[in-house]
Chains A and B, each alone.
Chain A
């Protein structure tokens, strides 16, 4: 079981890193999500892998698994979800304000060309204000 989980964590981390290094916001969001999943599984396994053993102490059981990593993972999952949701909203905002989904905004000549044809109303009014 150990090698299976380690390989899974490794693949998820590698995929997450590759996606995060892409230049578009959507792959970056996906990459960060994968990284968050990888780290959650990693945290979980740090309490050592046991199957069929409870984390809550009762009168019957003699063996227990470490409950602390489960508490940590729970916190980490909540935080990661919140952060990912925020990043998605920010990426959408950036898409509408910067004109495309490149992480640096408009920087390709082609994008600028295409933007000229469909000028957002805010920019149009600004340039008009400058002329008159």
Chain B
């Protein structure tokens, strides 16, 4: 895929391609809402700021906001609020804005934005298998409707709808993190066994697959404190990524969640966090929150994959690349 920088705002907003892409994104979201609504989910509006947010990973920095003299954060992910919201509703979703000051080297990966949206889903009492099935059905439903209803838009964007034949033809496969590491090493890529699959490694795996697949069982130490650690296999997390084929890479991350107070505090220490910072959340957890599983699907990344775009910034009206001053 050829990488280019975003043009000036007028050129970007008035281009035919942008209009097609954002129209397609509108349809993706509408179909996702319809799908989730039909399955009994309630859409809630996500918080934008809070005293704490997802600590994130891979070196991304949070944005501090002065909230009447208190240091608040823009949401990097509303995961903690999703867990808390299950006190009121058992199946929820957000279309949530996130801001992450990603490291500068991600500015030209074609995959990173400093400001993006997630379709955030959380299900009380669900297992990882439950939400993997849900996510697979959701993606298949949305893609099927796009292929059926918006073939002209795909054609205008130069996207061959035949690219989705495999996706629509069967279940997504699963690949454990350990197997992925082994595969990458056999291919000569020096992937750490303790870390997330790096961006280059992820692209290699993505290009080797014809339909999306789930990368599961990340090692502890590679993800946040809220991804639940396996009871039967300590050191392995009950989490997953959804990887798109054709080199598009990760679309979505999710997991079963830790909900036990003692385990969460311990995991916070293991991830270098100061539990005092999370007081409101820990107060809720101490009094009890539902067990749950869920995921966050990157709206712009999903749009990019379906539309077959070179870069994720093409899937947003006002692209903000890491470190690039832009409107």
Are A and B associated in one complex? no
A interface residues (Cβ-Cβ under 8 A, vs B) = none
Query: Which residues in B have some Cβ–Cβ distance to A below 8 Å?
Result: none
